Chains A and B, each alone.
Chain A
Amino acid sequence: MTASQILNFYGKAMEDPLIIGGEQLSSRLFIGTGKLGDDALIPRIAEASGAQVITVAMRRVEKGQKGIMSHIPAGMRILPNTSGARNAEEAVRLARIARAAGCGDWIKIEVISDARHLLPDGYETARATETLAKEGFVVLPYINPDLYVARACVAAGAAAVMPLGAPIGTNRGLRTKEMIAILIDEIDLPIIVDAGLGAPSHACEAMEMGASACLVNTAISSADNPPLMGRAFGEAVKAGRGAFLAGLGAVRGRAEGAVASSPLTGFLR
């Protein structure tokens, strides 16, 4: 079995790749590069987690291939992000700089103009998405899980949408679960849950719901042992994906579960 295969109902191997911008990915965990005490940990985290996509803040990338970029394993898909951009114009310029610097055509749009909560600006994000998609970028916008914003990003040509599970860096898990479920139902693009996932169980839960992938940075980089935490997230994402594909059994709620008889419809028997 290859990494992108899973076993089907009959025990046969079947493909389950994630396709973004025409590219097939076998790992559904995306990782970050910020907040680490030492960038030399990046290849170890990448290997342990099995991640194929890694996001890098252009604000920290130095001219030439010094610094962060020199630590990213060859063959990984780089997902440059526009962290620091406060409006669509800045995000667009950062994307172009990323492409010119040899980071490829993928771009995660982050437009944040709120230093207290670091919540993304949906309107500016959709604007940047439109401009960059027209320029041939594979655009992954980071958004609040808002259906209207997500639809605007779809219309603007996004390749996937990245709703937040909780405010960035909080490690608080899937606080926006109901809203993300709506995006999974309504948006015909990969939904990649980004931000706020603090434990492997959170990532697993997102995958069980039908999210296409998860992006995890803080929880891995701030762990005592980042590579080990990377591996734990990699396994959690796989487990959650497997559960989603297997089809979770229905949960019996209190109201339906506890009552043996049918007081209102019993007369029908």
Chain B
Amino acid sequence: MRNFEDVLAAWPVANRDEIIEKTTRIDVLRTLDKAESAALSPADFLKLLAPAALDVLEDMARRAHELTLRYFGRAVSIFTPLYISDICTNQCRYCGFNAKNKQPRRHLSVEEAAAEAFAIADQGFQHILILTGDAPKLASPQYIADVVKRIRHRFASVGIEVYSLSEAEYKSLIDAGVDSMTMFQETYNPELYAWLHPAGPKKDYKYRLNAPERSARAGMRSIGVGALLGLEVFARDAFATGLHAWHLQRTYPGVEVSVSVPRICPHEGEFEVAQGVDDRQFVQYVTALRCFLPRAGITCSSRESANTRDHLLPLGVTRVSAGVSTAVGGRATEDLHNPGQFEISDNRSLEKMMADLTALGYQPVLKDWEDPVVRESAEH
């Protein structure tokens, strides 16, 4: 079986750039017509990412809106992240948790993490995403599993967004009750990746690239991928991200694949955004993803403003976070005012998010899946 590394290698950047360059407005419109009733190929997706598509952005939006309505209706899932440890051995140049950043760090005990999680459950959240820095000795797979086991009964779904793991480690976390994982490749350009990640375990590009597939083989139910927009030339990472999700869908048809669309924002340190993605390109990305992967969930984080997030719902976004803090602690344990991983632009609480979604004609969905085995065991 070909892994994603091979699939991506079959799409040399020069070939992609050539297709993008040749794409005309008419090509884009034809592709949008095709998307009405047929599956798009990766080459079609590439056309939707071409500058020519910006001329027909409203047409892109119309098609994306129609497909979103068809497959997701007016339902939007809500989750919240819980950072349980920000100690990190990596030196990612764009990240607030960069090991070189001199700042207070915090690692919650299992009981402290549980207290934070229960405070989240008390707010009404049923889907939670557990995050850690990359310090495998301290925030070990065993530690993460212990936290998950401790909190599992209070949530319908527990996801993880942590460093890359082995297949056996993913399996142990699934056994502990994890049903979804998110893995941001950050960039699909290996040279750029090497420069951005000068030290720490995350330096291993290929180990990270193939992590989603290891988790799929371990039996992960739901997998999210994403590039951090702003690092690489827009269309290159946008295409690779869509291709990654497409490959996972085709290779592991039982897995629910979703795409996250994080756009880089300033952090604790100084990082110059080399390839800033403007709002029009951002809309182009979301609508192109929707046309290429009509049934895939699209997650938009609180890095984006409330206004942007609200306007992206009709265009394809199906999952949003609320009540977000990217710092460790502060809900049920002491708030040490540690800096977060990144600055958030949308501070809406769960209650406010639900009210706003309702006002926009959307139904907030707090529970979209619950493992029946976990539920049965919780009830007995």
Contact = CB atoms under 8 A, between A and B. Distances in A.
A39 B126 CA distance: 19
B367 A62 contact: yes
A60 B368 contact: yes
Interface in A13-38: 34-38
A268 interface: no
B89 interface: no
A93 interface: yes
Interface in A162-187: 169-172
Chain A residues touching B, majority SS:
loop
Interface in B342-380: 358, 361-363, 365-370, 372-373, 375-376, 379
A109 to B, nearest CB: 13
A62 B369 CA distance: 10
A36 B363 CA distance: 7
Contacts of B307: none
A94 B375 CA distance: 9
B75 interface: yes
A201 interface: no
Contact of B253 (A35, A67, A114): A114
Interface string B32-52: 000001010000000000000
Contacts of B362: 37
B363 A37 contact: yes
B73 A221 contact: yes
Contacts of A86: 221, 254
A35 B70 CA distance: 9
Contact of A116 (B73, B250, B367, B368): B250
Contacts of A171: 70
Interface residues of B, number: 35
A35 to B, nearest CB: 2
Interface in A28-63: 34-39, 59-62
Contact of B254 (A34, A35, A39, A114): A114
A187 B69 CA distance: 34
A62 B370 CA distance: 9
A255 interface: no
B249 A116 contact: yes
B248 to A, nearest CB: 9
Contacts of A35: 69, 72-75
B256 interface: yes
Most A-side CB within 10 Å, residue of B39, B362, B370, B379: B370
17 contacts: A36-B74, A37-B74, A37-B361, A38-B358, A38-B361, A39-B363, A60-B365, A62-B366, A94-B372, A96-B372, A113-B254, A115-B253, A115-B254, A115-B255, A115-B296, A116-B39, A221-B74
Interface of A: 34-39, 59-62, 67, 84-86, 90, 93-94, 96-97, 100, 113-118, 169-172, 218, 221-222
Interface of B: 37, 39, 69-75, 126, 221, 249-250, 253-257, 295-296, 358, 361-363, 365-370, 372-373, 375-376, 379
